[in-house]
Amino acid sequence: MDVICTQCKIKIETEDINVAKDTAYCSSCQNLLILSSILEKQPNNNFDITQPVSGIKVEDNGYNWSMEASNRSITAIFLVPFTLVWAGGSLSGIYGSQLINGEFDPSLSLFGLPFLLGSIVLMTLTLMNIFGRTCVRNENGKALIFIGIGSFGWYRRFDWKNIDQVKEVNLHKNRHLSLEGNKRLNLGWGLSSEKRYFMSNFLRSKLKK
């Protein structure tokens, strides 16, 4: 993979790269740069923007582009029955009995709040694993991130030109993508490693464009 200087855009020679020290020296402009920072700003040489992985839809017209990834996951096979048992059993037992008897029990209802909140979280997680989507869109420099189901979810608008690098974070239980510039924007939770890899390289190919 070629390493390109972020200052003068000239290729840095292999002998000027020190992986152990995470440095890259550009003999052209005589700048000592952080190697990992450079790599986070450019896509892999073997990356093909025209070959999205399964579950990702790309529309690319140069300055205007969009990328949508499905959050559908095999995890839903386990979440659906577990959620039905958890939510159905706990909520019907605590609140269903009150509705059937036409009585309101304050203490029992208060006791059931953690189960109600847990059921809401489980149902949201299950629906995201079946119908969820993660979308990044850019129109003339005005970018948007959406994570949710249908039109319901989390939106964040920002200027694409303010993004300097794209990081793929692979912490054990916190795998996601991070767009960094004048602020940090995180996305990609729940997506497969293949989808995160494609998204990170696609977004890097659009930096400063």
Q: What is the mean pLDDT of the chain?
A: 86
Mean pLDDT of 35-56: 75
* pLDDT at res. 147: 97
For residue 30, report the phi and psi dihedrals to the nearest 5 degrees. Answer: 60, 45
In tens, the pLDDT along 53-97 reads 899 999 998 789 999 999 999 888 999 999 888 888 877 777 777
pLDDT exceeds cutoff 70 at 9: yes
Contact partners, residue 61, CB within 8 Å, separation at least 6: none
Number of Cβ atoms within 10 Å of the Cβ of 200: 22
Residue keyed to tokens 């869109």: 137
The region of weakest confidence among 111-120, 177-186, 187-196 is 111-120
> How is the chain split into domains, by residue range?
1-39, 50-72+132-205, 79-129
The residue among 167, 205, 209 whose CA lies nearest residue 49 is 205
Contact partners, residue 187, CB within 8 Å, separation at least 6: 134, 136, 145, 147, 176, 177, 179
CA pair distance 11, 13, nearest whole angstrom: 6
Are 126 and 118 spatial neighbours (Cβ–Cβ below 8 Å)? no
Which of the 8 DSSP states describes residue 10? P
In tens, the pLDDT along 165-179 reads 898 887 777 789 999
Are 50 and 209 spatial neighbours (Cβ–Cβ below 8 Å)? no
Q: How confident is the model at residue 1 (pLDDT cuts 50, 70, 90)?
A: low
CA gyration radius, the chain: 23
Ramachandran assignment for 55, one of left (phi > 0), alpha (psi -120 to 50 degrees), beta (any other): left
The pTM for the full model equals 0.73
Tell whether domain 50-72+132-205 is in CATH 1.10.20.
no
